[in-house]
Amino acid sequence: MKKLRYSIGLLGLMLTHLAFSQTKLVETVTRKEGELIIPYQKYVLPNGLTLVVHEDHSDPIVHVDVTYHVGSAREEIGKSGFAHFFEHMMFQGSDHVADDEHFKLVTEAGGTLNGTTNGDRTNYFETVPSNQLERALWLEADRMGFLLDAVTQKKFEIQRATVKNERGQNYDNRPYGLAYEYTAKNLYPYGHPYSWLTIGYIEDLNRVNVNDLKNFFLRWYGPNNAVLTIGGDVDPKQVVQLTEKYFGSILKGPEVTKTIVPPVVVDKDRYVSYEDNIRFPMLRITYPTVARFHPDEAPLDALAQILGGGKSSLFYKNLVKTEKAVQANVGHPANELAGEFTFTVLPFPNVRLDSAEAIIRNSLTEFEARGVTDDDLAQFKATREAEIVNYLSSVAGKVSQLASFQTFTGSPNYLPTELKRYQALTKADIMRVYNQYIKGKKAVILTVYPKDKKEMVAHPDNYTVVTEGYKAPNYGYEGLKYAKAKDSFDRSKKPASGASPTLKVPPFWTDKLPNGLKMIGTKNDEVPNVTLLFSVKGGHTLSANDPSKAGIAQLTAALMNEATQNFSNEEINAKLEKLGSTIQIYASTEEIQVSVSSLTKNLDATLALVEEKMFRPKFATEDFDRLKKQQIELISNQSTQPVVIANKAYNRLLYGPDNIRAVPTSGTVKTVESITLADVKAFYQQNFSPSVTNLVIVGDVEKAALLPKLDFLKKWAAKPVALPKAPVAKKVDKTRIYLIDKDKAAQSEIRIGYLTDLPFDATGDYYRAGLANYILGGAFNSRINMNLREDKGWTYGARSAFGSTKTPGPFTASAGVKAAATDSSVVEFIKEITNYGKTGITEDELAFLKSSVGQRDALRYETSFQKALFLNQIIDYDLPGNFVEQQSQILQKMTKKEIDAIAKKHLPVNNMIITVVGNKSAVKPGLQRLGYEVVELDKEGNPAAAEGTSTPAALGGASSTTPKK
């Protein structure tokens, strides 16, 4: 009988293929040796769906992307946010896919998935093991052709609330989050497709109804307005057959034509402003330019980099280096219908914004006088080439490029043209576009000023949006009808998985220098690039020896990014840009890292600059003074950011005020003020040692060819570095709520957890605890996220995790939630943690855990960066080469009893810290009713000065752990 069923299934597939055999092969593009090109086959189905297939067997994975040529630019006045709203609705089930099952099925298969929306397109994508291709196509086809009957009022309301929370978290509650909204509505004419944000306005989201949303789907989500791009470990013939089977019967949608709008004209400088809860004011000047792929896009991109793209730019020299601004950059984002040339400056609080505007205009005059240099052009071309090469390092990156090129140019094979138009740039091209689009032209000049400081604006507001005379176009919503596809097979049957692919853990080599430096590496020749990652142990934790100098590791790393003994900062950055290379040095809690990326052909020259930066930093007084000032200002700025406030307070409560881990890596204003240049030099001399350094190398180079290039590392003298031991964590005596006031905050940040006794291990208790947490708060469809986001609509995302290194770290559950649901969210967090600790995992959840985690390794080793992280873990924790196999065995043998015991032991809900940052006047009364002691803290995590800040438990004493409303 099994053979008969298989034969019938195969016959059905063959009949389906015959029914849709009108699928046309449009073109085949192959790659010759040495070419930078993405090979593919392009097809068009009778219903208008474009299919692009890229075959790449380097990893056992496949990436599926469906791009619909609809974004917020297709929306109407008064109905903004539809495209993004619909992106959310597309994950809420369809006729043959149950509610929330899309996420579950992909995650269960070891894959990842998401969707994104911008002004011009919406895309949905999955990366899955290659044996899961058919399931991914079945899922995407079902929501393309069978969605609307599954769109209920309840789902609609939950996702509307989720989108509102996303706006609150990413825009309304974030410093400068509304800057682009103000720019867009004042730059573009009223009704222009780019005159509102993709997220939309709250009032529009409030007025929309479910039928409006259904009409939006019917108008724009037809197969003829979509590109299906599939890349990876696939057989193109099978891909075509499966695409015809699942997508071929979906009916063609209404015709979609290209949107055409006139060029944007700004006839006078438009000064506008708004107030925000910030420390640094913002000045943003925006000029209208050209659309993406316009001939002038490339020279305008080059102009942006020359003026403000790096440390050799004019803006850096005139604004950052002179200590007028903490940040200054220039960008040229270009989209399908228009582009913007934008200057953005965050001046120090003592710098007038009209003065900052004058510096910008003087910098442009300086540019006119000096023109474009040969170095400018060489740096831009090399940088752009490296960016393109790096983007092709993953199958997802290649698929995204093919999909974008097909959607906006009509040809997936635009990459050679893209390279050519940038490499063909001349100095004259750049000066021409400067004169045409910037010199003497008018702009929107936005000021974002701190609370109660409107006098800081660069110029009084002088512009109001003109709404008269606007006539809405006909979007074609009349007479739309929902008609489903008719099939010769049963869509309700989920496709079975193919044979599991053979996982390819990258083969690696190890070595060790006489000075103690440990090395690990692997060859990866998929792209002509090499990545190196140095990890110098110690980092911020070394300040435990002298807490009064906390922040010194970050300041030291920042200075190592500056001038060297042989080159100025500008000179060395110019050299790197000409090579298309990057060297970035930064500090974290436990290490200082040196991250290097180089095209293979430029590796020797890049390594010479690595040697210069690592071993010959200049530590110049002027650089030290400037960077110290910046670090102090940035610390002060943290008090305006709810996420940072929550993390700082939570860490202080976890570790205690005397633990260096309670202090941010940046230090405090007091500690950084005490640091001298001599302190930095001493910190570098005493702690920057090969004896505590690991080096990971991944890229297009053999070990035998690489090691001679690294001979300079043998000269690095070893020093004894004593890494501090972590103090023993103190147990939390009872669960309390710690409240930090953030006046008028639209959302509250919640952190719930405790400091564990679990150091990192790859195959022991820590690994097992992470597996147990996966169901509670690790996966998208975890209990916590499904409750707070998908069921309640209170948050854009909620999660939990164990986070340890060699030092035991915390268990933390966290979310940003809408203010009105703050107390209810705490209740639901505690409920989920309590229930999981009491009743443990279900058998279905255990099966999901084993399937999801057991198959996701196929996705873990694809890119050079992923390989580097994998190898870094091996060398850092001295793991055996087969630890992945050991993890797999542990996972498959895990029982419900074992996970239940872990949850019970490591989720001490009676002894946790609950930290809430929100609008005290709105959230405190609700929190007080939960039965916990409520302790108020200031923004630094210290007890608040006001009296009456502690509230006795109202229900059953202070140790009550059963929150009630």
Phi-psi region of 469 (alpha: psi -120 to 50; beta: other; left: phi over 0): left
**Phi/psi of residue 588, nearest 5 degrees:** -130, -175
Per-residue confidence (pLDDT) for residue 956, from 0 to 100: 26
Terminal-to-terminal C-alpha distance of the chain: 58
Domain 509-715 has CATH 3.30.830.10: yes
Of the pLDDT bands very low, low, confident and very high (cuts 50, 70, 90), residue 959 is very low
Length in residues, the chain: 965
pLDDT per position as a tens digit, 189-246: 999 999 999 999 999 989 888 998 899 999 999 999 999 999 999 999 999 999 999 9
CA distance 937 to 599: 50
Question: In this structure, are residues 295 and 468 in contact, taking their beta carbons and an 8 Å threshold?
Answer: no
Q: What is the mean pLDDT of the chain?
A: 92
Half-sphere exposure of 381 (CA within 13 A, CB side): 16
Q: What is the mean pLDDT of residues 683-703?
A: 96
pLDDT digits (tens, 9 = 90+) for 38-71: 999 999 999 999 999 999 998 899 999 999 999 9
Classify 298 as helix, strand or coil.
Answer: helix
| CA distances from residue 169 to 3, 91, 641 in whole angstroms, order as listed | 54, 20, 11
Which ranges of 616-676 would DSSP assign to H, the alpha helix? 621-637, 642-655, 669-674
Q: Which residues sit opposite 534 in a β-bridge?
A: 594, 695
**Of 3.30.830.10, 3.20.20.480, 3.40.1440.10, 3.40.640.10, which CATH number belongs to 2-247?**
3.30.830.10
pLDDT digits (tens, 9 = 90+) for 318-367: 999 999 999 999 999 999 999 999 999 999 998 999 999 999 999 999 99
| Residue 742 contacts residue 645 (beta carbons within 8 Å) | yes
φ and ψ at 511, to 5 degrees? Answer: -160, 165
Cβ–Cβ < 8 Å for 886, 769: no
Residue 521 near residue 509 (C-beta atoms within 8 A): yes
- If DSSP codes are grouped into helix, strand and coil, which group holds residue 696? strand
Do the beta carbons of residue 420 and residue 298 sit within 8 Å? no
Q: What percent of the chain has pLDDT over 70?
A: 96
Q: Which residues of 174-213 are buried (b: 16+ CB within 10 A; e: fewer)?
A: bbbbbbbbbbbbbbbbebbbbbbbbbbbbebbeebebeeb
Closest CA to 728 of 650, 655, 811: 655
Beta bridge mates, 569 = none
Q: Helices (DSSP H) in 790-917: which residue ranges?
A: 822-839, 843-855, 864-876, 883-893, 896-906
Give the type of residue at 191. G
Count of helix runs (H) and strand runs (E) in the chain: 32, 25
> For tokens 């996970």, what's the residue?
899
Are 763 and 786 within 8 A, CB to CB? no
pLDDT in the model for residue 939:
84
pLDDT at site 520: 97
Distance of CA 422 to the CA centre of its chain: 27
Structure tokens, 869: 């992280």
CA angle, 523 then 526 then 531, to 5°: 55
Least confident of 11-25, 501-515, 549-563, 592-606: 11-25
Is the pLDDT confidence value at 17 over 50? no
The tokens 């929107």 sit on which residue?
Answer: 444
Note the pLDDT of residue 525: 87
Q: What residue spans in the chain does CATH classification 3.30.830.10 cover?
A: 2-247, 270-456, 509-715, 736-951
Identify the architecture of domain 270-456 in CATH. Answer: 2-Layer Sandwich (3.30)
Is the pLDDT at 114 greater than 60? The verdict is yes
Looking at residue 945, what is its pLDDT?
65
Strands of 340-347's sheet, edge to edge? 270-276, 444-450, 282-288, 340-347, 325-331
- The confidence score (pLDDT) of residue 649 equals 95
Summarize the confidence of residues 573-602 as an average pLDDT. 96
Structure tokens at 67: 């791009």
| Residue 356 near residue 324, CB atoms below 8 Å | yes
Q: What was the pLDDT predicted at 457?
A: 93
Residue 162 near residue 791 (C-beta atoms within 8 A)? no
pTM of the model: 0.89
Contacts of 307 (CB under 8 A, 6+ apart): 313, 314, 315, 330, 343, 363, 364, 367
CATH architecture for segment(s) 736-951: 2-Layer Sandwich (3.30)
Q: What is the pLDDT of residue 758?
A: 94
* pLDDT level of residue 640 (50, 70, 90 thresholds): confident
Query: Does position 14 have pLDDT exceeding 70, yes or no?
Result: no
The pLDDT score that the predictor gives to residue 21 is: 59
**HSE-up of residue 77 (Cα within 13 Å, Cβ side):** 12
Residue range 322-334, pLDDT digits in tens: 999 999 999 999 9
Rounded CA-CA distance 922/139 in Å is 42
Model pLDDT, residue 954: 27
DSSP-based three-state secondary structure for 512: strand
pLDDT interval class at 148 (50, 70, 90): very high
Per-residue confidence (pLDDT) for residue 721, from 0 to 100: 94
What token pair was written down for 815? Answer: 């979310």
